[in-house]
Amino acid sequence: MARATTNAPTAAPTAAQVIARGLHAAGCRHAFGMPGGEVLSVMDALVEAGIAFHLIKHENPGGYMAEGAYHMTGAPGILLATLGPGMANAVNVIANAEQERVPLVYLTGCVDPAEALGYTHQVFDHRAVLAPVTKATFMAEDGAVDTLIGRALTIATEGRPGPVHIDLPVSLATKAQPNARAPVIARAAPAAPAEGPALAAARAALARARRPILIAGAELLFRGTAEMGTAEVGAAEAVAAFARDFTIPVVTTYKAKGVLPEDDPLALGAAGLSPRADAQILPLIETADLIVLAGYDPIEMRHAWCDPWDPDRVPVIEFTAAPNPHGVHRVSHGFAGDIGAGLAALRDGIAPQATWSNGAPAETKRALAAAFPADEPWGPAAIVEEVRQALPEHGVATVDSGAHRILLSQIWRCARPRTLLQSSALGSMGCALPLAIGAKLAAPEVPVVAFTGDAGLEMVLGELATLRDLALPVVVVVFVDASLALIELKQRGTGLANVGVDFGETDFAAVARALGGHGIDVKTRSELRQAVEDGLAADSFTVIAAHIDRGSYDGRF
Ligand SMILES: Cc1ncc(C[n+]2csc(CCOP(=O)(O)OP(=O)(O)O)c2C)c(N)n1
Ligand SMILES: [Mg+2]
């Protein structure tokens, strides 16, 4: 149990100050939100505690910014909204944090419970709305605000992280809490597998394996902070070392791209949404004689990954951050806790053997490269390839939902983990731009590019003005096809009439200039390359409108 320390001044802090100081003590330095009269004291307390408050244009993208900052720092994200309409605006991003396993503290104001009995304007039950999409939702209580913030941080970060909501009544926010103590973050160290029959059987399976395969997922990337005593445990590095030492090919989910550098011969790229990739990867898994799941959470995967192997036929050894009651796949032996320690226990005393004498993984890697060619003169794959070449290895890319995301996730090469951010579980549009803003804000030295479809950008266009206000030189690449390409593709594929999927072409470059950034239209590889290089070196944001034909994704994934 870690007790965070604060330099508490002598006067009793208010409830808002107790919450703000607790968040600061946990390592949080950025909060995003839109105030209303009911949360002014909370905003004030955050700033006083040393947490920068960033005004956004819409609460929902504000939550994605908080997530972007979390990926860069490990500190839980903070989103602040006022009651009623403000609170309701962020429901999507709270559901996203729940599905994407993002520790997020959602602070909202509310009218005092006694007043709410006889007052109706903007009043509804915030907690009832958020209950299904949060790990916990609390109403702050006088005298227990210190306990509450400690619990909220504990719940948000333990096991499988997620969002926690705190509703803070207006008059309690400014009420002194004379007995408040520094919050206790009650987090037990994640367990290593215990010696016993399950571990012995798993070790025997590894010793026997000649065609092992490993599937790596998002749980390898969970982060924490030194302040909370939950800094990283190095699970991604443990997976990479295990794969190399035992010559085990690695498939990742979209979120876990880069756990093994994707140019490594053992890296078979990412799976999840593309039937074309599944057609190469699933048959290889069929022929494996051992499947190791490392931090693999199937919430990112489509139907083809439901019950994809039979543990009665092939041993399946699973290491997860927390017990996994999802029922999406079956395993022979499951170990919940410290994934790196789990792999260490698995391999302990086992001598690596030669694997895959038939060369099948190398053949799969070749077939995957052939299935997703990028050597076109111009088009979505050319755009992805050019930007990849312009963005340094440590640069961070974000990508929105749509046809462009599926193609990009298959062909974008990650040399490091956590360098491609997206909403791959909820799969929400409107995430790429704000994720990029949060990442750049929290790690200004890292070059950041956001990829988005045109409809996705139109959903959050106002946040370009946030980029202006924060003076962040993020490069935004928008695939302009005047179409909901992914949905149009499905509509056409099922023989339905063309309805509700096409729209007019926006002059995004002009919009960017109007909002204080740079804007440029590109239609060739060389124009794009130059624009990205200029954008990364610029002092304000750049929107690059990359024009492609409608129907550009036909037959691609
Ligand atoms: C918030 C939200 N609304 C709707 C969807 C369904 N949806 C998924 S992709 C997509 C089309 C996105 O169009 P665009 O941003 O232009 O990207 P493109 O498919 O053209 O690459 C839609 C409507 C979603 N995932 N999220
Ligand atoms: Mg589009």
Q: How far is the CA of 486 from the centre of ligand 1 (A)?
A: 7
Q: CA-based angle 55:26:420, to the nearest 5? A: 65
Q: What is the pLDDT of residue 469?
A: 97
Cβ–Cβ < 8 Å for 73, 231: no
Residue whose Cα lies nearest atom 3 of ligand 1: it is: 429
Residue 20 CA, distance from chain mean position: 24
Cβ–Cβ < 8 Å for 355, 210: yes
Cβ–Cβ < 8 Å for 270, 218: no
Q: How far is the CA of 337 from the centre of ligand 1 (A)?
A: 36
Q: How many residues does the chain have?
A: 557
Q: Counting atoms of ligand 1 from 1, which one is nearest the CA of 457?
A: 15
Task: Collect all residues with Cβ–Cβ distance below 8 Å to 556 and sequence separation of at least 6.
Answer: 276, 372, 380, 381, 403, 407
Q: What is the mean pLDDT of residues 20-27?
A: 96
Mutate which of 409, 426, 429 for ligand 1 pocket (most atoms within 8 A of beta carbon): 429
Q: Counting atoms of ligand 1 from 1, which one is nearest the CA of 429?
A: 26
Residue whose Cα lies nearest atom 13 of ligand 1: it is: 484
Cβ–Cβ < 8 Å for 426, 393: no
Alpha-carbon distance 228 to 186, whole Å? 9
Residue whose Cα lies nearest atom 25 of ligand 1: it is: 428
Q: How far is the CA of 403 from the centre of ligand 1 (A)?
A: 8
Beta strand extents in 337-409 (DSSP E only): 396-399
Alpha-carbon distance 352 to 287, whole Å? 20
Q: Is the pLDDT of residue 403 over 80?
A: yes
Alpha-carbon distance 85 to 37, whole Å? 13
State the sign of the Cα–Cα–Cα–Cα dihedral 296, 302, 306, 311: negative
Ligand nearest to the CA of 383: 1
- Arithmetic mean of pLDDT over the chain: 96
Nearest Cα to 508, choosing from 485, 530, 476?
Answer: 476
Q: Counting atoms of ligand 1 from 1, which one is nearest the CA of 401?
A: 9
Alpha-carbon distance 291 to 313, whole Å? 11
Q: Is the pLDDT of residue 7 over 70?
A: no
* Ligand 1 lining (C-beta closer than 6 Å): 400-404, 427-430, 453-456, 479, 481, 483-487
Instruction: At 428, list the tokens.
Output: 């929400």
Alpha-carbon distance 352 to 120, whole Å? 68
Alpha-carbon distance 556 to 275, whole Å? 10
Ligand nearest to the CA of 490: 1
Q: Give 183's pLDDT tier (boundaries 50, 70, 90).
A: confident
Q: How far is the CA of 62 from the centre of ligand 2 (A)?
A: 23
Q: What is the pLDDT of residue 5?
A: 46
Nearest Cα to 165, choosing from 125, 123, 132, 135?
Answer: 135
For 96-129, how does the pLDDT look when each residue is reduced to its tens digit (9 = 90+)? Answer: 999 999 999 999 999 999 999 999 999 999 999 9
Alpha-carbon distance 178 to 192, whole Å? 41
Q: Counting atoms of ligand 1 from 1, which one is nearest the CA of 428?
A: 26
Q: How far is the CA of 487 from the centre of ligand 2 (A)?
A: 9
AA letter at 489: L
Mutate which of 91, 401, 503 for ligand 1 pocket (most atoms within 8 A of beta carbon): 401
Q: What is the mean pLDDT of residues 529-548?
A: 98
Scored b (16 or more CB within 10 A) or e, 55-94 reads ebbbbbbbbbbbbbbbbbbbbbbbbbbbbbebbbbbbbbb
Q: What is the mean pLDDT of residues 347-367?
A: 97
Q: What is the mean pLDDT of residues 234-250?
A: 96
Q: Is the pLDDT of residue 70 over 80?
A: yes
Q: Counting atoms of ligand 1 from 1, which one is nearest the CA of 458?
A: 15
For 409-466, how does the pLDDT look when each residue is reduced to its tens digit (9 = 90+)? Answer: 999 999 999 999 999 999 999 999 999 999 999 999 999 999 999 999 999 999 999 9
Nearest Cα to 463, choosing from 429, 512, 422?
Answer: 512
Residue 472, burial from CB neighbour count under 10 angstroms (0-12, 13-18, 19+): buried
Q: Is the pLDDT of residue 10 over 90?
A: no
Q: How far is the CA of 488 from the centre of ligand 2 (A)?
A: 9
Alpha-carbon distance 32 to 173, whole Å? 18
Cβ–Cβ < 8 Å for 453, 478: yes
Instruction: At 550, list the tokens.
Output: 């409608």
Determine how β-strand 290-294 pairs with β-strand 396-399.
unpaired
Q: What is the pLDDT of residue 488?
A: 97
Q: What is the pLDDT of residue 557?
A: 93
Place of tokens 């543990």: 311
Instruction: At 235, list the tokens.
Output: 């699970």
